[in-house]
Every structure is written in structure tokens, then in C-alpha cells.
Amino acid sequence: MLFRGWGESVDGRWPDVAVVADHVGVDHVVVTRHALVRQVLADPVTWRPDNALDAVTPVPVAALRVLAGHRFRLPPTLANNSSASHPGIRALVAEALHPDRVAAQQPWLTALVRRRVDRLAAALDAGEPVDLYAGLAADLPLLVLARLVELPDAPVDAVKDFARAALELFWAPLDADRQLTLATQVGRFHTVLREFAATGGGLAAALRAAGHSPDVVVGALFFLLVAGQETTSQFLTLLLHRLTAEPAVRAGLRGGTVAAADVVEEGLRLEPPIVTWRRVAAVDATLGGTAVAAGTSVVLWLARAGRDPEVVAAPARFDPGQRGSRRHLAFGAGAHRCVGAQLARMEAAVVVAEAAPLLDGVTVVRPPWCPDNLTFRMPDAFVIRRG
């Protein structure tokens, strides 16, 4: 299961807490129940976030050398930071993503999505297949992020390639050759980030002004560039794909009886782009009756927690607004809860409202394919055509 958790059925026979060692001989403790996942997330002292960005497949020496050649380091900054510096760094990021600043982007994003939807609709009308990943979901979150936070002046494709390479390098099962290729790609972009961290404005300048070291500024930007756009691109793709199979939901959107915001919450619950997130036991502890030794990697199965019958009335049904729909843990919880949740929700609501009509009367030519990965779904092309 470790790498394809989203493929497991809700009824699969999984205990509340299970010990699995199905990758490079490492024992991971997998937590499935909503209450237990929440309990872990709410207690970052017993269950520390330090391993959040650790490579699932240990990086071999040759690839480490490549990374070191680019002075690549990931010090504790945001998701992997249990030190005293976390609240300050988080506060600076939260300021850049303040709800008022997010809301101010909505009209611009709506206009952009509308233009794209018009173009995609014209292509569909002309009988052409369209790729909703490439044509809509892939770059929108990055474009919005760039308006909120000054980013390095790099082409969109370069940032996307880097982000996907990073997600593969740190969360996928890999062989040594692939690790070397990915380390080269990630390392190269890291050099760009390091230059920007030293001279850039916006968040980079704010972090520098707060006295953070160059490594911390680079580390925070690295995480934000990945977490702040790739996750949402993936979510938009998965949600649009899911909506092709939910005609009643689309009819509700059309008729005004279903709110886009509620569709987004059900999407996050049933199609989260981040299916698991990790913590590490700081001390010998017990979880749901299972002993967990200090140092154990704890894999929180967020996707499954969203389908826990104890929190949601109809776990497998896409039913916007149903009781418990918003209680998913797609954004984590507690001190490290996603700072970009409001932004992601706004972006997804705009895309649902504007793009759902495109899905009426279409056939899925190619559903998005998701590679093996512990945490990220990473869907690729999603192609539809009329008829």
C-alpha cells in the first residue's frame, strides 16, 4: 500500500494503526482513523514533524554529491520545523498569504480562467480533444503565487519541472540512476533559488530582514514553490476528473443548488492531492493501543481519514455539503496546518465555478495517470473530448 494508498478501497481491511515495512526495509507505522490522525497532528511534541521532507528512498552517495555540489540543504523551516524558529517563519508566510490579499486575487483569476475556459470550449466545439491539466490546472496556482509572493524570474515550465522532480526525489520509490537524474534537476534549480534568496524582494527580503540565514531563506522558498503551487495543480486536475463522473453535482452547480465551495470541500475529502503526511515519534509512545518506538516514521493516511465513517455521513459518496464534509484532514491540523488552505480553496472554487460546464457531454479520452508516490498524487494529462 505504501505508495498507492489512494487506490485502496474504503472497506479494505486496515487496522486503525498498522506497522508496514514494504520499502527498503523501513518500518513505517500507518495511521488510518480520523481521530488518531488528528491526535498525532495535534501533538507535535510527541509526534514531531522533523521527517516531513526526508527522502523515502535514501539518497545514494553519488546523488548526494550532486546535491552538495549545488550547496543543497533543507534545514528546518516550515513543514519540517519543530524548533523555536517555526512560528516566526510561518507568520511571515501567513502575512504574504493574508486572507485579504488572497481575496484580492479572485477577480483577476476569474477573468483568466474565463478566457481559458472559452478557448477550451471552442476547441471542444471544433471536435478537438483538450488536456485540462496542461490547458488549465498546471500553471494557474503558480501564476497566482507569483502575484502574492515575489518569485525567482524563472520560466513556468522550469519551476514545474523542478517541483515535480523534488516530489519524486523525496517521496517516490526510486533506483539510483533516477535519483541521480532528479538530484541534478533539483540541484540546478536550487542554485537559482539561492541567488534569489540573497537578493530577491518580497518574502525573501522579509525572511532576511528577520535575521534568517541564507540556508533558511532558500529552504522556505523551496518548500513554498513546491507546496504552494504543485499541490493545487494536482488537486484541480483530480477534482475536474472526479466531476466528470458526478453529473448530479454538475447539474446542482448549474442550477445554483450546489455551491462551488462545498464541491471543493468534498473534493478535498475524496480526492486530496496529498494522500499521506509524515511525523516521527520523539519518544516511545502508544497510539490506538499500538506501541510506537521513538524514532519510528509515522505515516498519516490523510486520504483515508477523510473517508472515516465516524466523521462523515456517506463516506464514499460525493455529496457537497453533507454532514462532516469539511472535517477532512487534507490540509493537516494543528501548529503546522497548511498556511495556504484559504488560497487553495479560493483557486479551486473559481475553477469549479468557471470550468465545470466544460465537462457536460464530454468523454474522458485519457484519465490522469498517477505514478507511485508515498504522498503526492501527481496526476499528468487529463484529456477530454465532446461526445
Residues that bind ligand HEM (CB under 6 A): 41, 49, 78-79, 90, 93, 97, 145, 224, 227-228, 231-232, 235, 272-274, 277, 330-334, 336-340, 343-344
CB of 272 to ligand HEM, least distance (A): 6
CB of 276 to ligand HEM, least distance (A): 9
CB of 51 to ligand HEM, least distance (A): 11
Concatenate the DSSP letters of all residues of 203-233 into one string. Answer: HHHHHHHTT--HHHHHHHHHHHHHHTTHHHH
* Pair 23, 56: CB distance under 8 Å: yes
The nearer residue to ligand HEM, 252 or 272, going by C-beta atoms, is: 272
Q: Where are the extended beta strands (E) located within 273-312?
A: 276-281, 285-287, 290-292, 297-301
CB of 55 to ligand HEM, least distance (A): 17
- 3 state DSSP class of 68: helix
- Residue showing the smallest CB distance to ligand HEM in the complex: 340
The nearer residue to ligand HEM, 152 or 228, going by C-beta atoms, is: 228
Cα distance between the two ends of the chain: 36
The nearer residue to ligand HEM, 186 or 344, going by C-beta atoms, is: 344
CB atoms within 10 A of CB 134: 14
The nearer residue to ligand HEM, 189 or 277, going by C-beta atoms, is: 277
CB of 345 to ligand HEM, least distance (A): 8
In three state form, how does the secondary structure of 238-270 look? HHHHHHHCCHHHHHHHHHCCCCHHHHHHHHHHH
The nearer residue to ligand HEM, 249 or 305, going by C-beta atoms, is: 305
What is the enclosing helix (H) or strand (E) of 172?
A: none
Beta strand 28-31 with 285-287: parallel, antiparallel or unpaired?
A: unpaired
| Joined grid coordinates for residue 227 | 507546496
CB of 349 to ligand HEM, least distance (A): 12
The nearer residue to ligand HEM, 67 or 145, going by C-beta atoms, is: 145
